[in-house]
Amino acid sequence: MILKLFKNNNWIKYLFEIELILIVSFALSMLITMLVGMPKTDDYYKTEDNSGIFEKYKIFTSINNINVKNITEDINNTENNKSFIKDFITLRSLSSELENKSYGIIDDFINKFNSDDKYLLYEKNKLKLRNLFIKQKYSEYIDEYNGEKYGFTYDMMLLKSFIFLKNETKSNEIFGSLLLSHPIKFFTNYLSETELSGFLKKISQSFWNKKLENMLQKGNFSDFRNISKYIKDKQLIYFVSAEIAYSKKQYSRTKLLLKKIKSTRFQTGKEKLLLKMRIREQDYANIDQALEKIISDKVTYKRLIYDIASLFLMKGESEKSLEYFSKFISLTKADKSNYNEDYWKALWTSVWLKIKVKDYKGVKSLFYEGSKSSVRSYRLANSFWYSFISEKNYSEIKKHPFTYYYARLTQYSDVKNHFKKNTFKNLFNKKGSELFYRLVFHIKEFLRYGLSDESLEYISWIKNNENLSTEDMNSIKFIETLIYFKRGDHYFTFTSFKNNFDNYQEIILPYFLREIYLPLRYEKLIAKYISGSGIKKELILAIINRESMFRPNIVSPAKAKGLMQLIDRTAKQTARKLGFKLKKNQIYNPEINIRLGTAHLKELLNKYDGKIYLALAAYNAGSHRVKKWIENFGNFEEEKFIEMIPFSETRNYVKNILRNYYYYMFYSAKNRSNVKL
């Protein structure tokens, strides 16, 4: 009877279909909620407003699923002629009309255009400034320039305006402020060679001292050759050149340059370099007497003590290194904030040097002191080992799940419940403001019309908005990450996330966003070349992630190339062992690079009896160094051996890959509680 009624009455049939759709929709929404990791704990529902996270997740999903429209067909068909995107495109297209000198059209538009939207007014002001400059109305340009951050191009137009108005004082002032933070090559597109040379010749000696000091501190000497010819102080040139030569390990050149330094102004710096050279050459006689010569310069003296300790560490002279690190700690303890990272690095290194020479006195208290560090990386490292020795509950580590130490902790403690208490939801856990939704709507408009670069420019502008709540600003920043993610650019995806969220190590991403941390690319190629080797694909993914961030054409400063960052010598040797000759630029081919990289890693794993940490250390620093470390460290366990690696780059390299390896396994595992390093 019921079936007959159902068949003969369409309205009942339609009602049933609607009800079925509603049931399925509800079930799917619950499934999506579980997949994206929506919290279920009681604590979560005690928060002030838990509906915000649902709204934000919905926005993130919609951003990720936007389909690009045809801008030329669609933009002119829009019902709202005052739409944000149409006004924006009009402003940008008029900007290109400046080249055609269509000043009348532009003047008319600027005079008539008005908007309640601050970004459109910002774009209008940029158009107006360019228009004034091209029309050579320099006084008006200066009057209209309101100090807002329009970028280097507009700063240079301001400089040129003062040049054309023959205001030498203001021109020199602006040029000097720009030169302090920009390399000379930035100016060559805007200033003639004569103009640039004229400015550089007027730069004061005190300015060059400041500029070169900044270069030395940052270790960035790329601009030195360009500016050195304008510096009249030859003694300053010799000293900076000696510092550069030393940093490049050109020790013979360093000595020649130091011999040319006669000025007493650089005597302390000269003595410092000479002493460091002696230690490198293993001439350890009368070090303390040499230090006495510069003790009056307390800052340089303390810095040199630290450098000497680091040099002895590199030389494998553990006791001497410990002696000088201890001296540095003693000298800087009272004002450690001025030395910050160096102080905590010295403290951390000293602990492991004590363990290495089997002097365990005070180790626990040093780990405890380090656990209070203002530098997160050292605070976490010391907290882990203090908790390990004291059999504490690792509370600080549990707050930072996306770390090497958390991955290590899974071997000693059941921490799976901490993944439910991730910080990700807390970044956005409030309803968005009206302003926030308007900004998001505009971002979506940019993306719908394929204006990805313009959407990122817009977000960069939004970041200066002081009217957004912390949660709304976090959401905007995360959308920036999603845009890079949507473009398939892992490097900028991860770096934008890391730069936008200082606490990124506290965050475990929901499953559907895991590739922000851990991209899954080239899996078929990896599977092909690890077949039968016993190597897990997750390890290769972790290495590629750390080495190149999945950029096949990347070249490192050390000339390592491709996805798995192989130097030419290693790549050619491995290719010969595999029976083929490596041709020019083949190393950049993803398949060739993965084939060679996995073969090289397999060789290292065989060499070190399958010990991943040793193979990784050798992959980064070379087998000859690992051999020396094994001889030097003795039979320490894996965790302790890693901490004793004297090269901070290699030590962090091994830790980062092991962390990524753990999480690649974690996200792919059916039973995550069984995942161990």
> Per the residue annotation, which of 271, 471, 480, 547 is the catalytic one?
547
- CA neighbours within 13 Å on the CB side: how many for 527? 5
Whether residue 443 has pLDDT greater than 50: yes
Average of per-residue pLDDT across 32-54 = 44
Instruction: Give residue 419's pLDDT.
Output: 53
- Measured CA distances, 99 to 40, 106, 127, 150, 454 (Å): 59, 12, 12, 20, 21
d(CA 253, CA 262): 17
DSSP state of 622: -
Whether residue 512 has pLDDT greater than 50: yes
State residue 21 phi and psi, 5-degree precision. -60, -45
- Of 504, 490, 492, 491, the C-alpha closest to 453 is 492
The torsion of the CA quartet 635, 637, 643, 644, rounded to 10 degrees, works out to 0
Band the pLDDT of 423: cuts 50, 70, 90: low
pLDDT single digits (tens) 619-651: 999 999 999 999 988 878 999 999 999 999 999
Band the pLDDT of 70: cuts 50, 70, 90: low
- CA neighbours within 13 Å on the CB side: how many for 511? 17
Asked whether 81 and 453 are in contact (CB, 8 A), the reply is no
Instruction: Give residue 36's pLDDT.
Output: 40
- Measured CA distances, 32 to 44, 58, 87, 418, 421 (Å): 18, 11, 37, 21, 18
Band the pLDDT of 41: cuts 50, 70, 90: very low
d(CA 400, CA 582): 43
Q: Which residue has the higher pLDDT, 281 or 332?
A: 332
Q: Is 651 helix (H, G, I), strand (E, B) or coil?
A: helix
> Which tokens is 442 given?
């505009």
- Measured CA distances, 206 to 170, 179, 203, 218, 499 (Å): 19, 14, 8, 19, 34
Whether residue 281 has pLDDT greater than 90: no
d(CA 315, CA 632): 11
Instruction: Give residue 611's pLDDT.
Output: 96
Average of per-residue pLDDT across 18-39 = 42
Residue-range domains of the chain with CATH: 425-502 (1.25.40), 523-674 (1.10.530.10)
Mean pLDDT over each residue of the chain, to the nearest integer: 86
**Burial bucket for residue 216 (CB in 10 Å: 0-12, 13-18, 19+):** middle
- Of 307, 387, 315, 376, the C-alpha closest to 346 is 307
Whether residue 478 has pLDDT greater than 80: yes
Whether residue 517 has pLDDT greater than 80: yes
- Specify the range with the lowest mean pLDDT, choosing from 173-182, 415-424, 555-564, 597-606: 415-424
Instruction: Give residue 531's pLDDT.
Output: 93
Instruction: Give residue 95's pLDDT.
Output: 83
d(CA 261, CA 279): 21
- Of 427, 488, 424, 418, the C-alpha closest to 452 is 488
Q: Is 552 helix (H, G, I), strand (E, B) or coil?
A: coil
Average of per-residue pLDDT across 498-523 = 88
Catalytic status, residue 547: yes
> Which tokens is 528 given?
């092909």
Residue 47: how many CB atoms within 10 A of its CB? 14
pTM given for the model = 0.84
State residue 629 phi and psi, 5-degree precision. -70, -40
